[in-house]
Structure 1
Amino acid sequence: MLVAERRRKIVEVVNEKRSVRVTELSKKFKVTEETIRRDLEKLEKENLLRRSHGGVVSIQEEQSEISYEEREITNSFEKKAIALEAIKLIKTGDQIVLDASTTAWYMAKELPNLPLTVITNSIKVAIELSKKEQIKVISTGGMLLPKSLSYVGPLAERSLKMYHVNKAFISCKGVHLEGGLSDSNEWQALLKRQMMEIADQTILMADSTKFGVRTFAYITDIQQVISVITDSKIAGSYCKAIEKKGVEIRTVAVNQ
């Protein structure tokens, strides 16, 4: 395959998957990781994509959401490991809020059946938790986004204002030291901000491909979360930079 053809296909893959690791691209195109990095450097200079720690992300602004099925298979091992670590922060009797992320759904699947109150805007999270009779589930209601099977909008935001919780567990599409947390969908960004406002503490769950990335809709500054849970593929320099901002960071190993 010619260099120009490979680079064109790299852009297609990145725009389709939204984020891809260097190792994945190396295997797909049967070239070394160093060759892929040179390709990505060239493509970034041409403003066709953006490099991130250990991978690359699409720069196409995307207000319409990615389907749940697609998100479910993207970085699934990392998301499952992050979810299991997040569960360790939950205690019997807690009141928590879970967003409509895939990581939150993995949390719902793995949560033990113990006395908890969970507020969520995710239909899939609510269904998963309905199987555990000790967990009280409250759905926000609101405007349904069919692709993510989640509720957003003014009704969802107003319903959250009625409650107070111990912890909010949220994910996002981008984590940037200066640009803060961001999401590709403005409705989701607004709702996540409201989730944080009703919580004593916010725990951010984001795999390593999300760091150094800024997407369409701003949520909040990174200092507004008490803890970040990510996978061990994150660059050590980024961990130190986050800790300097007074935010705890937990990294988890990923078994594939």
Structure 2
Amino acid sequence: MLVAERHRRIVELVNERSSIRVTELSDIFGVTEETIRRDLEKLEKEHFLMRTHGGAVSLAEDHEETSYIEREITNSNEKRAIALEALHYIEPGDQIVLDASTTAWYMAKELPDMPLTVLTNSIKVAIELSKKGQIRVISTGGSLLSQSLSYVGPLAERSLSMYHVNKAFLSCNGIHLESGLSDLNEMQALVKKKMIDIADETVLVADSSKFGVRSFSQISSLSSVDYIITDTRVDENIKKALKEKSIKMTIAK
């Protein structure tokens, strides 16, 4: 494959997936990771994409949510592993909040039926938990986003403000060492910020593709996060930086 053709395909892949890793591109094109890094550097200078720690993200102006169907199949193995690890942080009698992320849905599917109160803005999470008799489920209500089957807006935010929880479990589209947590959708970002505000502890459940990414809407700084649960592909430099910030990280196997 000619270099120009490889560059064209790299841009297409980044725009299709929103973000992609150097290791993935190296495997796809059968070239070294160093070659891919040089490709990304050139493409960034030409304003086709933006480099991140370990990969690149799209510069396409699309702030719409990814559909829940697409999110379910993206990095699904990693999300399941993260969800299972997150269950170790939940004890009988806890009051928790789950966002509308796919990882939260996996948590809801795997949660044992035990005395628990769960507050959520996700229809899919609420449906999963409705099958478990000992779990009390509270839905925020609000304006429905059909892409993610979740509630957002002023009503959802006011509903969350009425409660206090022990732990918040949430994900996001971007985790950046300087700018913190961010999301593609502004209304989702505001709801997630409110979830953090009402919780004693915040557990970020996010696969490694989210690191180094800056999305459209700011949620909060990294200082608002108490624990991060991610997968084995997270970059060693990210681990070191988070340790320096005194943020605890668990790697889901």
TM-score interval, normalised by the smaller of the two chains: over 0.9
Q: Is the 8 A contact 1:173 1:215 kept in 2?
A: yes
Query: 1:59, 1:112 → 2: CA distance?
Result: 41
1:140 matched to which residue of 2? Answer: 140
Distance apart, 1:176 and its partner CA: 1.1
**Amino acid aligned to 1:69:** I
**Amino acid aligned to 1:135:** I
Equivalent residues in 2 for 1:2-151 (5 A)? 2-151=2-151
1:251 matched to which residue of 2? Answer: 251
Poorly superposed stretches of 4+, deviation over 6 Å: none
Equivalent residues in 2 for 1:223-242 (5 A)? 223-242=223-242
- CA deviation map 1:48-102 (0-9, x unaligned): 2223333322222432111111111111111111111111100001110000011
**Amino acid aligned to 1:102:** T
2:199 matched to which residue of 1? Answer: 199
Equivalent residues in 2 for 1:141-220 (5 A)? 141-220=141-220
RMSD (Å), alpha carbons: 1.5
Structure 1 spans left out of the alignment, 5+ residues: none
Q: Is the 8 A contact 1:180 1:220 kept in 2?
A: yes
Query: 1:147, 1:139 → 2: CA distance?
Result: 18
Distance apart, 1:191 and its partner CA: 0.3
**Amino acid aligned to 1:118:** V
- CA deviation map 1:190-212 (0-9, x unaligned): 00000011111101112112112
Q: Secondary structure at the match of 1:88?
A: helix
**Amino acid aligned to 1:161:** S
Q: Secondary structure at the match of 1:168?
A: strand
Query: 2:129, 2:59 → 1: CA distance?
Result: 35
Q: Is the 8 A contact 1:140 1:160 kept in 2?
A: yes
Q: Is the 8 A contact 1:61 1:184 kept in 2?
A: no
Query: 2:63, 2:117 → 1: CA distance?
Result: 31
- CA deviation map 1:196-243 (0-9, x unaligned): 111111011121121121111111110111111111211222112112
Q: Is the 8 A contact 1:56 1:209 kept in 2?
A: no
Between Structure 1 and Structure 2, how many residues are aligned?
253
Structure 2 spans left out of the alignment, 5+ residues: none
Query: 1:54, 1:231 → 2: CA distance?
Result: 14
Q: Is the 8 A contact 1:116 1:135 kept in 2?
A: yes
**Amino acid aligned to 1:29:** F
Q: Secondary structure at the match of 2:250?
A: strand
Note closer, same or farther for the CA distance 1:61–1:171 as it changes in structure 2 (3 Å cut). farther
Give TM-score, length-normalised by structure 1: 0.94
Distance apart, 1:22 and its partner CA: 2.8
Query: 2:186, 2:61 → 1: CA distance?
Result: 11
Give TM-score, length-normalised by structure 2: 0.95
